[in-house]
Structure formats: structure tokens, C-alpha cells
A and B are shown apart, each in its own frame.
Chain A
Amino acid sequence: MSGAASYLARRAVQKERVRILYRRALKDTLNWAVHRHLFYPDADALRERFDANKNVEDIETIDRMIADGEAQYNKWRHPDPYIVPWAPGGSKFTRNPTPPSGIEIVYDYGREDH
């Protein structure tokens, strides 16, 4: 039955979108509320918002809600998020790349060999 398979495939895609959206929203919440004692209540509130819609069954409604959620996330994105230094966007990214192989530096300190 291709109907059931495509339905399940759509639901699986939706679940993945929800997980990725929750992950980004949680990181964003941590970016906005830097201190942990502010982050924990905000994270709980975010989790409540996700959990309130946990049992929706209609696939179109779910799609609409995910699109709404992503729009809200895009509206509230932090302008200067914390990124781990060596990751792309961080401060150490490509700071000291390894030199290309085959280059040999001759340390002769100005000695005159001729």
C-alpha cells in the first residue's frame, strides 16, 4: 500500500523537522538567556509549547504548525550566537590552517654558502 508508506514517510519527515526545530530553538534560548538560572525556566516553557501540540494527528495541521514554528524561530534568532571556536562561524575557524604539503622551509639564517 503506497498510501500508508507515503503517509509514514511524511510523518517521519515531519518528526525530523520538529526535532531539528526544537534543537535550534533550544540553542537559541541558551543564546538569549546566557545565565543558567534564566535558561532553565525558558527551556521549560519552550518544552511546554512543544508538548502542548504533541497529540495532533492531522498531517496538514502539523505541516502548518511546523512552518509557523520555523517562522517564529527565524524571527527570534540571536544576532551573535555562541559557536564553538573551531566550528564554522567561530573565532578559531581556519585561523591556523595546516600548510600545504611539499613546502620545505630552508632555515639557513642568512648564512652564505657560496
Chain B
Amino acid sequence: MASALRAAILGHVRVPVVSSGSKLLTPLWIRSMSSHDDHLEKSQVIDRVLDIVKSFPKVDPSKVTSEVHFQKDLGLDSLDNVEIIMAIEEEFKLEIPDKEADKIDSCALAIEYVYNHPMAS
């Protein structure tokens, strides 16, 4: 009899569990508080990459825009290219695989790579 009373009270008090299967109900702010999301704005990425290229000693800062090609427009060496990419890696705390890093030849490619990288911060 006590168990029946208990069950009745529990049935009254208990909140029914609703399994929300639809993804539309998850509010947007849940992702914004995740510690994994460090999404950079494109303007921030552009500013930081251009700052890195401008502070390179062999580069003339006035010539640097976001469409510049390192070897053709700025007259740099392929080894200078490697150095710039290393500086970008250090700035954004990335690890770029060697084959990918070899292909980054211009500011536009670098900005696009950093912006599309999920772990750039």
C-alpha cells in the first residue's frame, strides 16, 4: 500500500522526459559557448596575415595587399615563402602539413587557408 502511495506521488511529481529528436530545437547559443569554437572573422584573418607579411624585413610594406603573390609581386625567394608560412603557422597556432604548406604561394591563398581551417585561433 505504501508503494502504491509512493508511486502515485512520484507520478504526480515526476517531469516526463521528452526526447527532442529534431535538431531545429537546439538553440543557437549552445555552440557559441563551446570551448572548441574559435571562429575568426575574415577581416581579422586578413588583418593579421597582412601584418605578418608587412613585418617581414625583406618586404616593402606599402606594396602588400590581400591579393599579393609572394614571389611574383613582392620579389621574394621560395625560402622566404617558407619563412612567411612558418610565421603564419606560429601566429594562428596551426600545424600545416608540408605538402599543403608548399602550395601556399600568395596572400589570398594564405588567408583562405587560415579562414577555412577549423582550428585557427
A contact residues vs B (CB 8 Å cutoff): 15-16, 18-20, 22-24, 26-27, 47, 50-51, 83-84, 86-87, 90, 104, 107-108, 111
Contacts and interface: CB of A to CB of B under 8 A. Distances in A.
Chain B contact-residue range equals 10 to 19
A89 B13 CA distance: 51
Contacts of A16: 102
Contacts of B83: 26
A19 B95 contact: no
B14 interface: yes
The 3 nearest A-B residue pairs measured at CB: A87-B95, A84-B95, A23-B82
Given A26-B86, A111-B14, A19 B79 contact: yes
Contacts of B86: 23, 26-27
A19 B119 contact: no
A16 B81 CA distance: 12
Given A19-B102, A20-B98, A86-B119, A26 B93 contact: no
B78 A15 contact: yes
B68 interface: no
Given A15-B78, A23-B98, 12 more contacts: A19-B81, A22-B82, A24-B98, A26-B82, A26-B83, A26-B86, A27-B86, A51-B79, A84-B93, A86-B95, A104-B19, A111-B10
